[in-house]
Structure 1
Amino acid sequence: MLSRLTRPAALSAVAVCALAALTACGDDTPEEDTAAGFDAVEISGPVGELPEVDWKAGLEPGETQSEVLEEGDGAALEDGDEVLVNLAISDDFTQEIALETYGEERTAVALTVGEEQPEPQQVIDLVTALVAEQVEAGTTLGTRIALTVDAEEEFGELALNLAQIGIGNEDGFVVVADLDSVALEGPKGARKAAPAWAPTVEVEDGIPTAIDSSGVEKPDVKAKEVRTAVLLEGEGPAIEKGDLAVVNYLGQTWGGEKPFDGSYTKKREPLKVNIDGAQGPGTSVIEGWSDALVGVPVGSRIIVEIPPAKGYGKAGSGEDIKKDDILYFVIDVLAAA
């Protein structure tokens, strides 16, 4: 796992101290076999899938270059839109994929159009900031962008931190970025009848406000499986393991008088969730959430019943969730990548 990076100045200090241990891989790149920018590399494969990167030569030192490899046919982005982006990074020394977000180990990243990226906390944040500079209002979803980067030229002493993903501070590398999606404002889909086991979801102006389980017999607290029902079935792509999902939610225990948590209020933003334990910018959640969300199409509203074995176990959580509490959640799936 990438170590947490605090402030850029601190990153530089750590990197300089570790200089002897983090010798630049780029020192061993044959000098006679280099090329500038995209003359050094060929990128292929369909948007939305892990790209194929074929290095023809080492990357000559110089400024970062960018190129739109394929223009998407999705909606045009606007300033303030938060976009989920899949990335792949390959360096010219190993000529392998050093980091990618298309699989199950690491989620997509998120960037906001027209806004400066937050101060970097991990190495991947440095790369995300580079991509963000290329995404502006009017860029369409489904677009694939690539950048060729000279680590030392672009990052200076911070380039030493790229060793955490196997890239030397004098290496060249390429970044491929697929603009995947932005979050919906709310669920959108065909209404489905709730099953007999499900409690009643109280709704005001289309927004869930409570989960009434007064007419439901308490489920088995020793159960080992999560129960999920679709209340509104969306038409977007289904959530997969390793995704970053963006959701609104409301949680309440069986027999609880009021919700213990939720994100539907004006004071809260939708929650980003790392699915199935993947590394990413979202929140790591209880096992029952991942069990419930995998396979659910974007745009859906679901209701979930989670026993302690798939929730907080015998320890419970704070004052609101006891060891034998059954948890109910209403979840609106707004985006996933």
Structure 2
Amino acid sequence: MNRALRRATPVALATAAALLLAGCAAGGGPEGGTSDADCLDVSSGPLSDGVKVEGEFGASPTATFSAPLEADELERTVVIEGDGDVTEDGDKVNVIVSAYSGATGKEAFSQPATIPVGEEEVFEAFRSGVECLPVGTRSVTVAPASALYDGAGNETVGIAPGESVVIVIDVVEVQETPKPAEWTKDVPEVKFGADGAAPTVTLPATPPPAEFQLKVLEEGDGDEVQAGDNVTLHYQGTSWDTGEVFDQSYGGEPAQFTTDAVIQGFGAALVGQKVGTKLIVTIPPQYAYGTEKSEQNPLAGQTLVFLIEIEDTAPAAG
């Protein structure tokens, strides 16, 4: 099976989890339950112990270590031990995940992500920083090239083939699915294009809404989208901060992805809606790309508006 990162998900919608996923598990892992025997058995070692991590918990940290760094096996060191609830199988955990080139020491990416506990499609190098750990924990994992992207690296973020990677993960919270409020005030004007042309969304001259809000423009009568479903749809994303369209599927084939493979607010806006529905949703930063601005993700800290047309839904393949 292909263990490359998912490429079907539009870049602007994917969370950092798109960088964390493998097509199938590289090895064993939890298959239910949360006992110690089910947790990934990753011990600390001289390489992970030698990484110095600085910065406020829950924000992008700074990691320093002697480069080049070459690892033969996974090592994990807990830098900060949290005092919250221990993550359990089936939890969706909001984290800050930061990765660094073992060859150069340079940051590859640092941004919020949601990692499902016990999900074998997530590389073990990332799961080791989440599974069976208390909320509030910060850990450092040193991963050999073979443990990520089949050793082929990831050119998207500047990780070269054969390169070891240093990963810092802050376990921020166990996710609770947000519920959008009804959007009744300062709703953008929407004009749909003819024959599949891109629609026009005109934002009002007001500050971005602080709330997660949704307005159904036209209700469909098809099947209802369930959490985890594979949904086919057209979308257009606009930044309320800049007024610019940053991504859309209009002008091409509809997009298709599961509700848990996109930013939290987008997925939550889909669940419970019927096929055929047209809606517009405003997503504040905490349910999009996080509140902290980031050079790696220019959409971080911004309120996003999505116009969505749901065309089909089906249970995700097991």
Structure of larger gyration radius: 1
